[in-house]
Amino acid sequence: EAGVAQSPRYKIIEKRQSVAFWCNPISGHATLYWYQQILGQGPKLLIQFQNNGVVDDSQLPKDRFSAERLKGVDSTLKIQPAKLEDSAVYLCASSHSRQGRNTEAFFGQGTRLTVV
């Protein structure tokens, strides 16, 4: 089966500019996650969708970050305006999980963002 697709793979922007990332999860996966992975650290959950509803966005900097998952399939993550500290790899993942267990998350290759 096809994996989680993300684009672009790399992006360089100046601070205060805006940027958007796109994710297409594995077909049939109800749960979609966006993570931020700063160099040398573990992935930090930004937002989790169940179908097209948000179930956790407690660590999303809502003054500058936004995400949507229209129709419960593809998702976009936007940063506006970007700051230097937003430089990181942004990972999208998806899983089968609904209210069940035993499911792992499958990750895309990530988008490496550099803010200069």
Residues that bind other proteins (CB under 8 A): 31, 33, 35, 40-45, 48, 50, 55-56, 91, 93, 95, 97, 99-110
Name residue, tokens 């937002």: 47
Least spacing, CB of residue 66 vs other proteins, in Å? 20
Least spacing, CB of residue 17 vs other proteins, in Å? 26
Least spacing, CB of residue 14 vs other proteins, in Å? 26
Check: CB of residue 68 under 8 Å from CB of residue 51: no
Check: CB of residue 76 under 8 Å from CB of residue 8: no
Least spacing, CB of residue 7 vs other proteins, in Å? 14
Residue 74 Cα to chain centre, angstroms: 11
Between 36 and 86, whose beta carbon lies closer to other proteins?
Answer: 36
Between 12 and 18, whose beta carbon lies closer to other proteins?
Answer: 12
Strand locations in the chain, DSSP E? 5-7, 10-13, 19-24, 31-37, 44-50, 53-56, 65-68, 75-79, 88-95, 106-107, 111-115
Between 71 and 101, whose beta carbon lies closer to other proteins?
Answer: 101
